[in-house]
């Protein structure tokens, strides 16, 4: 009986087969699709965390309380974009070729 080839083999639907000496293992890999909406959430979250780290006096990275205005601006922009569906940050990933959630 011939031995199976060793290595990794990709199947459809994101399944991956790993063949070793006498063991065949199958595990599923979920592909994460980055959409413009995910980019906006990631970047906005980063801006809020950085502005809090730089604006809160208890933080070891404290610079000035004025950095809290950046967190307020990001929060206000997210709030208004929830109603108007207009987000200035969303145009940047779209220009870079990232698809919208409706198109992905």
From the list 49, 42, 48, the residue with the least C-alpha distance to 72 is 48
State how many domains the chain has.
2
How does strand 7-10 pair with strand 24-28? unpaired
44 plus 78 within the same structural domain:
yes
C-alpha separations of 83 from 37, 86, 90 in Å:
15, 8, 15
3 plus 24 within the same structural domain:
yes
In this predicted structure, the answer to whether residue 64 has a pLDDT above a threshold of 60 is yes
How does strand 15-19 pair with strand 7-10? antiparallel
pTM of the model: 0.66
Q: The domain containing residue 63 runs over which residues? A: 36-95
Mean pLDDT of the 7-13 span: 51
Supply the pLDDT for residue 101: 79
14 plus 65 within the same structural domain:
no
In this predicted structure, the answer to whether residue 4 has a pLDDT above a threshold of 90 is no
In this predicted structure, the answer to whether residue 104 has a pLDDT above a threshold of 60 is no
24 plus 41 within the same structural domain:
no
26 plus 41 within the same structural domain:
no
């Amino acid at each position: 009986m011939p031995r199976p080839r060793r290595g990794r083999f990709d199947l459809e639907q994101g399944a991956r087969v790993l063949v070793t000496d006498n063991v065949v293992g199958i595990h599923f890999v979920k592909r994460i699709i980055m959409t413009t909406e995910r980019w906006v959430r990631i970047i906005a979250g980063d801006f809020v965390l950085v502005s809090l780290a730089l604006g809160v006096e208890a933080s070891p990275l404290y610079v000035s309380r004025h950095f809290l205005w950046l967190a307020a601006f990001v929060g206000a922009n997210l709030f208004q974009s929830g109603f108007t569906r207009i987000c200035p940050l969303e145009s940047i990933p779209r220009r870079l070729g990232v698809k919208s959630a409706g198109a992905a």
